[in-house]
Amino acid sequence: MLFSRGVRLAPFLASALLLSVVTPAQTLRRATTSQTAAPASQEASVSASKARREWDARRDWLRFTTGVVGDTAVTDSMNALLASGLDPSTQDRYGRTAMHAAALLGQLDLARFLLARGAQVDARDREGRTPLMVSASAGGLGHFIGYAPTSPWEFFWSAPLCRPEPSEEAEKRTEPFRRWHETVTTQELMLRLLLKAGADPTAKDSSGRDAFDHAALGGPTGFSRLLAGKARAGEAARCDLTAARAPEVRGLRLGMSLRDVVVRFRPSSLPEADSCGLLALHLEWGGGFLAPPAPRPLGLDGVRRIGFGFLDGRLTYFRVTYEQEEVPLKPAEFRSKLSESLGLPGRWRRAGDDSLLEEPYSVSCEGFTVVAGFNIGPYVEVIDEAALRTLLQRDAEARLRRMREAEAEKERKKRVLKP
């Protein structure tokens, strides 16, 4: 594993509470005399000393932020703390600097404010990570802990996202994916800001991992392409394939039509696409699980299960799981064989958070990601990143539309019931 769960999350543990509860940092009151207001310089001095006392007691940079992901506010307490003379690159009790706190929360204005006041763009935390690494890993937190015991990307294509009237259970099940999408959207802007400010994508943390490794932890975000634009040639092994040249796995390739897949696999039934245009299909053979819903096509010997995700009738995700006895390889050997057989350039990097038991690895290419891991048997999945973003954006729009309709209905009932 890249980090044990405790080691990886410990520096950001306090942020989990802030992200879930959204507790603003305490606002400092300006000191006044009982009769007349103190001069501005005296107010600033008192405010700065009070902020410094709070720092000495708490030593937590997040206490001086709003604690809200993507917020644009720079708190009075942060202004006062830096006015007291504290170096923004000082590590707090969790090993973070002020720039790590800004990167964790995706707060662009705070990052600009700190850089203007001398914060180091490549400051190190206790584990040697830079703010760029934190941002590249979609905030450094495990979004799917407790929700996805295996690689979570399959759940994106089968979870009940765009249902007209989703149940409370469905909302709970899909919440981590929505949170991931919102975080990735925010962190893409932060990543661009840090790179423009001169952050080094090839720097390594104390475990020898660079920003590309941390981007793999964040999932199929496309961040590796942004990092690659700033990395020196040859510094990081990258996949130069585009989505149009994505590898074929057992006759499956991104972009295939639903009709082509149905003709080949002949499923006994076909679900309808949901309101987001998503259609999920799963076929399984043998192993004492489900009865085969369709004859096993030629060329699929040794395959145990296949999962498909179609968006607007086009194959945008698939996962092929092999019989364990048919692939008697260690994980590293399996990944090496995949690279060889698929003609897949690039380095396999640890993917997903530490709660995922099969330790998936991924190769990020131009517009798509390939993931390999072990779950029942070794598997490989191919993800169209642009389609995944489109799916989650449609879900967000559908949720917003439902909220507006619910508010409009409340207003209508108020007018009807008004005496």
3-state secondary structure of 382: strand
Side chain identity at residue 106, one-letter code: G
Neighbours of 405 (CB within 10 A): 10
Domain residue spans in the chain? 11-25+37-125, 243-388
- Which stretch of DSSP H or E encloses residue 364? strand 361-364
How far the first Cα of the chain sits from its last, in Å, is: 65
Q: What is the DSSP letter of 249?
A: B
Fold observed for domain 11-25+37-125: 1.25.40
Q: What is the DSSP letter of 11?
A: G
Chain centre to alpha carbon of residue 332: 24
Distances (CA, A) of 312 to 31, 278, 316, 394: 61, 7, 9, 12
Contact (Cβ atoms closer than 8 angstroms) between residue 367 and residue 228:
no
For 411, phi and psi rounded to 5 degrees? -65, -40
Q: Tell me how far apart the alpha carbons of residues 64 and 86 are, in angstroms, rounded to a whole number.
A: 13
pLDDT per residue of the chain (419 residues) written in tens, 0 to 9:
333 333 333 334 334 333 333 322 322 222 222 333 334 444 455 489 999 999 999 999 999 999 998 999 899 999 999 999 999 999 999 999 999 999 999 999 999 999 999 999 999 999 999 999 999 998 877 777 766 666 788 888 887 778 777 677 777 778 888 889 999 999 999 999 999 999 999 999 999 999 999 999 888 999 998 898 776 655 456 788 999 999 999 999 999 999 999 988 888 788 889 889 999 998 887 554 445 555 667 778 888 889 999 999 999 999 999 988 877 888 899 999 999 999 999 899 998 766 666 678 999 999 999 999 988 889 999 999 999 999 999 988 988 888 898 888 888 877 877 66
Distances (CA, A) of 104 to 73, 82, 99, 111, 134: 15, 19, 8, 10, 6
List Cβ neighbours of 279 (8 Å cut-off, separation of 6 or more). Answer: 258, 270, 271, 272, 273, 309, 310, 311, 313
Q: Tell me how far apart the alpha carbons of residues 37 and 347 are, in angstroms, rounded to a whole number.
A: 63
The whole model's pTM is what? 0.82
